Structure 1
């Protein structure tokens, strides 16, 4: 089970690298006015989104494997896991929101400012902090 845990952590970390970087590319897209630079940023964003989707799926698969292997979440004192899973659902939603925003840039219909994307860029940091505290401290 330790191998499964190691791979789960690896894929979660890698997925978060994408969740941190893709919104940063969106900030740059919202500020860009040159067509060539916009196309380059869109190419980077598309490739990153595809790759981070694979990483997300692998993180979820290894997480489910851990859950089944350890039987975590059953019985008293495992409320932290249910809270963590709620945050994971929010992260999956955030991931899909990134894809939706990317599609708007591809279609040329983005209406949001770079300032909005800078705030949007902070969401995964907050979610990671919440998950990390739940997993390490297990407050309930």
Structure 2
């Protein structure tokens, strides 16, 4: 057993913790956008509150958690934890890449809110709020059930 393999359970635990924190942000930020789009008037104190909440969520929780999840995940891949010979490994990786793209899209939409150029309404943000759930289902089923 190499010294790195002794770290495997710790890296895996760190990966799961980072993913949970990242998912929490991916669930919460679109919900904040729903209320921001529906209730906050441009320049109001409520809008300023939403902008602070959205910015801190992205900078202090979501971005570090995403980076940590990727780093731990790449370490696990280097240790052979992902089977690229099976479809489930590619399904998981595809789901994680899609989550990353969604994260980047949300960050850009936060900039739109800050600039006063958001064009999406509450209904659109409610639908966007379902994306992380769908990706979570794909990823967890791929890894745990391995149906393909």
Both structures adopt the same fold (TM-score exceeding 0.5): yes
1:11 is aligned to 2:18 = yes
Provide Cα deviations, 1:14-69, integer angstroms capped at 9, x if missing partner.
10000000111111110123410010011000000112101100000000101111
CA contact (8 A) 2:91 2:138 kept: no
5+ unaligned residues in a row in structure 2: which ranges?
Answer: 1-7
Residue in structure 2 matched with residue 67 of structure 1 by the alignment:
77
Runs of 4+ with >3 A deviation: none
Q: Distance in 2 between matches of 1:79 and 1:71?
A: 14
Q: Secondary structure at the match of 2:120?
A: coil
Provide the aligned length of Structure 1 versus Structure 2.
Answer: 138
Distance 1:106 1:74, change over 3 A: closer
Counterpart of 1:118 in structure 2 is 126
Query: CA–CA distance in 2 between the matches of 1:12 and 1:71?
Result: 16
TM, length-normalised to structure 2: 0.89
Per-residue Cα deviation, 1:62-88 (whole angstroms, up to 9, x for no partner): 00101111253244xx22011111111
Aligned to 2:89: 81
RMSD: 1.1
Structure 2 residue corresponding to 1:40, chosen from 49, 67, 71: 49
Where does structure 1 lack aligned partners over 5 or more consecutive residues?
A: none
Corresponding position of 1:98: 106
How far does the alpha carbon of each residue in 1:80-121 deviate from its partner, in whole angstroms, 9 at most, with x for none?
A: 011111111110000001011101100001111111101111
TM-score (norm 1): 0.94
